[in-house]
Structure 1
Amino acid sequence: MKAYWIAHVDVTDPDQYSQYTQRAPKAFAEFGAKFLARGGRSEAMEGRQTPQRSVVIEFDSYEQAVACYCSAAYQEAKSYREEWATAEIVIVEGIAPL
């Protein structure tokens, strides 16, 4: 089954946040990630206020999605994000195609 990272991110310093965006692609490439949504228009229909950025990333399996998040490459990139943005990241297992 496919799996997805669903992230909501609010950036407090775009210049510093770019340190994260320069490093994170290495981890995503290593685990075969495919971006389905990144930034773009969004509108909160229910729940909390719309975050600045919503991101959906597809992986071939739940295990790959978790391994990517836990990888040394992603954790190194994440260390550049933590001070300059707040993020909510959930990994969700997909369902079989109907």
Structure 2
Amino acid sequence: MQKGYWIVRVDVTDQEQYKAYVAANAAPLKKYGARFLARGGRYEVPEGVTRARNVIVEFPSFQAAHDCWHSPEYQAAIAFRLPASTIDLVIVEGYDGPQPA
């Protein structure tokens, strides 16, 4: 089974309010087996556009990634995030096929 990922780009406009979102999202992320692969940190934009913060969250499966976002617990956390940030979030299934030689 391929893993699932959230690929998130974020512009935070209210750091204090955003901290409430981070605290509220901890329980649903844990419940669905999430693991941060990238969470802010240094980045480069060689092509296209981005936001100020980039996050990649790994889940044990695409279904877990989907279910976490749609869960009542995560939807409650979103209420803290909405007034504090603008995001782009994509839920992606992992790839386990052939790789470049």
Matched letter for residue 43 of structure 1: E
Structure 2 stretches lacking a partner, 5+ long: none
Show the 5 A alignment for 1:14-93: 14-48=15-49, 50-93=50-93
TM-score normalised per structure 1: 0.94
The structure with the largest alpha-carbon Rg is 2
Question: Matched residue pairs, number?
Answer: 97
Instruction: Give the deviation of 1:97 after TM superposition.
Output: 5.9
Q: Distance in 1 between matches of 2:35 and 2:97?
A: 18
Matched letter for residue 68 of structure 2: C
Structure 1 stretches lacking a partner, 5+ long: none
Segments of 4+ moved more than 6 angstroms: none
SS in 2 for 1:42: coil
TM-score normalised per structure 2: 0.91
- Identity of matched residues, %: 44
SS in 1 for 2:83: coil
Matched letter for residue 9 of structure 2: H
Q: Distance in 1 between matches of 2:97 and 2:24?
A: 33
Q: Distance in 2 between matches of 1:29 and 1:23?
A: 11
